[in-house]
Amino acid sequence: MLNPKLEDYRIILASGSPRRQQFFNDLELDFELRFREIDEVYPDHLKAAEITDYLAELKGKAFEGALAANEILVTSDTNVWHKNEALGKPKDADGAFEMLRKLSGTTHQVITSVSFKTVEKITTLHDVTEVTFAELSDEMIAFYIEHNKPFDKAGAYGIQDWIGLVGVQSITGSYPNVMGLPTHLVFDFFKNF
C-alpha cells in the first residue's frame, strides 16, 4: 500500500533487530539495511522517552553526510522505564535476572522511539506501552534466561517469548511497540510523507 507513494524514495532501515526487519517486511515496505556501530550512551539527566528519542537520533547522526537526497533513514531505540530507572539490555545472566526480579509483580513502560532522517530534516516519534507482569518465581526467571538468553532485549525480555506467554498479565497500548517498533507510527509517517 505504501510502496507506490514512496516509489521516488529509498528507505533505509539502520537496525540489526530481526523483529524490526520483520515488521518492515510485514508492512510491505521496500527497504535496504545499512549499519553503523555507535556507543549507545546518553546524558544522565535524560528520562523515559527523552532517552529513546536521543538514542534513535544518535543512531541517525552516524549517517551524517552519507544520505542521498531521495533516501529516508529509519533508526529506532527501545527501553524499559521502571520506577524512574531505565532498564536497557542486560550485560549478562545476572543482570537479566536482576532486571526481571524488578519487573516481577509490577507495571512498567516500554518506550520505543523512531527517527526518520533525510538530508533536510529529522522527525522523531515515540510510543509508550504499559506492561504488567505477574509475580515471577526465581525458577521461572532462571528457566527463561537459560532457554531464551534475552541479552539483546531491553528489560531482559521479549514479550513474544515464553516469559511473555506465562508472565505478562496485561498491556495497555501497542503490542508491536513492546516488540521494538510502533508500527502504527511508522505507517502513519510514511502515509503522510
Find the CATH number of the domain harbouring 156: 3.90.950.10
Residues 6 or more apart from 33 whose CB is under 8 A from it? 12, 13, 14, 15, 21
Annotated catalytic residue 77: yes
pLDDT of res. 105: 98
Residue 24 lies in a domain: yes
Three-state secondary structure call for residue 55: helix
pLDDT tens digits for 88-114? Answer: 999 999 999 999 999 999 999 999 999
For residue 2, tell me if it sits in a domain.
no
Provide the number of structural domains found in the chain. 1
Of 39, 77, 127, 138, the active-site residue reads 77
User: Considering the domain boundaries, does residue 65 fall inside one?
Assistant: yes
In a domain, 38, yes or no: yes
Which residue ranges of the chain lie beneath pLDDT 50? none
5 in any annotated domain:
no
Q: pLDDT digits over 1-28, tens only?
A: 887 888 999 999 999 999 999 999 999 9
Q: Report yes or no on whether pTM surpasses 0.85.
A: yes
Provide the residue range defining the domain that includes 156: 10-191
Is residue 14 a contact partner of residue 34, using CB atoms and an 8 Å limit?
yes
